[in-house]
Amino acid sequence: MDKFESMSPAVREMALQMPGMVPPAGLKSNLVDPPNGNKGVIGLLTVCIALTVSFAFMRFYARTFIQKKWHLEDYLGFAALGPYAGGVWVVISCIHTGGFLVHQWNIRVQDLLDILYILLMLRISYALQMLLAKTAIMLEWSRIFVPRGTRNAFYWVSRALIVINALVYIIGGSVAVAACIPAEKLWHPWVKGHCSSRRAADISTAWFNLFMDVSILLLPQSIIWKLQMTKARKIGIALIFSVGLLVVACAIGRTYSNMALDYSGDTAYDASINTIWGFCEMTGVMIVFYAPAIPKVFSEKGVFSRVVVSVRSWKQLSGGSSLQDSYKSSEGKSWPHGKSEDFTSGAKHPASTDSEVELVRPERARVGNGKVDDAYQLGGTNQILKVTRLEHNVAEASKQHTGAAPEYQKAWVTHSREGA
């Protein structure tokens, strides 16, 4: 291709319509309808987009209409939809250009050059999305698992991962663009300039990415299993934070495909496999970020729970249910399930249901001498907070029992004697 610019227009066009490489012995190039895996990739693309959009919508609804508060990680996480859309464009463009799982001898040179440009866009989109989404994940998990004002091991590890993640993906994205100078030489090899080998950078980035995915998966697990809650709720929360298993699996596949990629052989075929792994990983990272807010959508304030209640009410009405039936069905139940009362103040608190996993970090409870109740920090609910305070009040009352009676007790005793 070094003499491409010196060729006549007719010869150039002829060269661009040639196969991307010489086929192996015994095979012929098929430039019309080569065998491909486009149908499977289209199905995979549809599923990935549907999952990402659904999870993004539910998180947006939870943050905007239920919690009514956005944090920095929310802006970063939703901004990551931009480069994710770039990944969608890459997959669609590859389908319409050379196709997935198509051998390079079945692809025209013109299409191969377009694929080189598309793959550059994938590298940029991938690096930018991982920078935004993984930073958002670590910020949110730090907000969830680190009590306010605390600087524990989880806090420092998450901050270190954020810094390392930012440095690696900024450097990785820059290296991808600067692999050739000028950058146009990446997809127009006849342009004067020079290129460096991308293999070392691609493989090192893939290994680091796998390290980050494993770290994000394992970091919260030790804290989750120390939470003061039922085993069922621990399993539920652990499953939500284990969505990263999908990401780790994709990262392993992408790392292996990077190491097996032949940069001087059937590059188009190998690169299409790498693209599939990369896009699936991009989808998984987005789901990992959106997932922790999903239980809020199914909480008592969520639209889905309201729909379920409305449907049940409609079924009861259409089935001829009566107040007497409701009364019979509630016999033997001492307490209502909807709310719990605090008899010391008369306030009512929403009860926590099994369908709602509270993932927002609660306020710290202080018990005695300004110390923080560790059990409540990690997994407390409103009920735990009340019990902690009640125990503290009982302890204080016990200390005062040996001394003079409190004023309210004196008044009660005096009133009793007068009444007698």
Residue 354 burial (CB count, 10 A):
9
CA 124: distance to chain centroid?
20
The mean per-residue pLDDT over the stretch 221-240 comes to 75
Both tokens assigned to 344? 């010391």
So what's the pLDDT on residue 2?
A: 64
Domain limits, CATH 1.20.1070, in the chain = 35-297
The mean per-residue pLDDT over the stretch 138-152 comes to 88
So what's the pLDDT on residue 305?
A: 54
Whether 277 has a pLDDT exceeding 80, the answer reads: yes
Whether 236 has a pLDDT exceeding 80, the answer reads: no
So what's the pLDDT on residue 311?
A: 53
CA–CA gap between residue 112 and residue 104 (Å, rounded)? 8
Q: CB under 8 Å, gap of 24 or more: what pairs does 340-346 form?
A: 340/382, 340/383, 342/386, 344/390
Under 8 Å between Cβ of 19 and 109? yes
What CATH architecture is 35-297? Up-down Bundle (1.20)
Phi, psi of 366 (to 5 degrees): -105, 135
Task: Please write the tens of the pLDDT for every residue from 34-52.
Answer: 999 999 999 999 999 999 9
More confident residue, 303 or 233: 233
More confident residue, 393 or 144: 144
The reply to whether the predicted model has a pTM over 0.75 is no
So what's the pLDDT on residue 309?
A: 54
So what's the pLDDT on residue 394?
A: 37
Q: Residue 185, SS3?
A: helix
Whether 370 has a pLDDT exceeding 70, the answer reads: no
pLDDT, mean over the chain: 77
Both tokens assigned to 231? 């085993």
Return the H-helix or E-strand segment holding 194: strand 194-195
Task: Please write the tens of the pLDDT for every residue from 326-347.
Answer: 444 444 444 444 443 343 333 3
So what's the pLDDT on residue 67?
A: 86
Whether 322 has a pLDDT exceeding 80, the answer reads: no
So what's the pLDDT on residue 223?
A: 81
The mean per-residue pLDDT over the stretch 130-141 comes to 94
The mean per-residue pLDDT over the stretch 122-126 comes to 95
The mean per-residue pLDDT over the stretch 258-286 comes to 93
Kindly indicate the confidence band of residue 240, based on its pLDDT and cuts at 50, 70 and 90: confident
